[in-house]
Amino acid sequence: MQNIKKRGEMSLLYYGGKMVWSVLRFIFLVEMAFIVLYPFIYMLSMAIRAPEDMYDMSIVWVPKHFTFDNFKTLFEHLNYESALFNTAIISVGCSLLQMVVCAMAGYSIGRFKSKGSGLLFGLVILTILIPPQLTNLPNYILLSDFDFFGIITAITGSGTGINLLDQYPTIYLVAALGQGIRSGMAILIFTQYFKGIPDELEQAAMIDGCGYFKTYTRIMVPNAGAPSLIVFILSMVWYWCDYYTMVTYFTNIRTLSVNLSGIKTALQTVFQTEAYSPYKIVTVEQAACVLCILPILILFLSLQKKFVNSIINSGLVG
């Protein structure tokens, strides 16, 4: 009887402790979700309310007057669709290029061993710590007078190269040469993945007559879907939200992040003679923020399960 009673007490303690842990974990996750979701909920609430609701102290989250005029203003006066198109073209193109180039770099570092491979991998890690300003400024000077090994000067005889700034190929070229935004992080992800692939898989391909390139394209790349998806989504977020790189390389091509930086000045010109103009500026600003992050949010939500599974299968956790 005493043993049965003791087992019952231990079982009660076990399930009681498990229940307490579940409750604490639930509370923690709810708090974290609130911290993450609060800014977006606030922006959405402000974006769909009329200017007269701004000074109504009884309104906290749900406005009394719903309106989509704030979004309409963005497209009518701020050329928002052009900025959205530019951002999408740059983000998708650079993300794809960065994924391809970093995959090749990660494969070479992760699979081929030589005397300098450790040092090379250390330099890749070091690039993660280097601020983008240190690389963007030299690249700006190089691309403003681009002359590939003096070939252009030799052909034209002008002594000056080609100005590649303020064009889409500018940012594509930087990404294709492995100097995209946080390329070091992307190379690290691919390196860690390719290191974990069994050597027997590569040796079997060699026995079947595949060379290094064919082994990479036919064996390694099809099996690297997990890190490829991770790098693509992260690169999309990095390029979509970047401001400094875009203003460095572009003058006339406007992206969403660049438009956001000057939206208050533009709205002051639009609403300078209208009533509630300070409140209209605030609501339109919040609408612009919602539209800026909405495409990325939709992308992540649509690929959420695959993204989480890719993190697990790539071996990055732990």
Between 212 and 190, the higher pLDDT residue: 190
Between 140 and 275, the higher pLDDT residue: 140
DSSP 278-308: HHHHHHHHHHHHHHHHHHHHHHHHHTHHHHH
63 confidence band (pLDDT: 50, 70, 90): confident
DSSP 110-173: HH---TTHHHHHHHHHHHHHS-THHHHHHHHHHHHTB-GGGHHHHHH-SS--B--TTSHHHHHH
With left for phi above 0 and alpha for psi between -120 and 50, is residue 61 left, alpha or beta?
alpha
Q: Of 26, 27, 45, give the one whose Cα is nearest residue 37.
A: 45
pTM: 0.81
Superfamily of domain 78-261: MetI-like (1.10.3720.10)
- pLDDT tens for 207-252 read 877 777 888 888 888 888 888 888 998 899 999 988 888 888 888 8
- pLDDT tens for 97-118 read 999 999 998 888 888 877 777 7
Between 280 and 104, the higher pLDDT residue: 104
pLDDT at 2: 53
With left for phi above 0 and alpha for psi between -120 and 50, is residue 299 left, alpha or beta?
alpha
317 confidence band (pLDDT: 50, 70, 90): very low
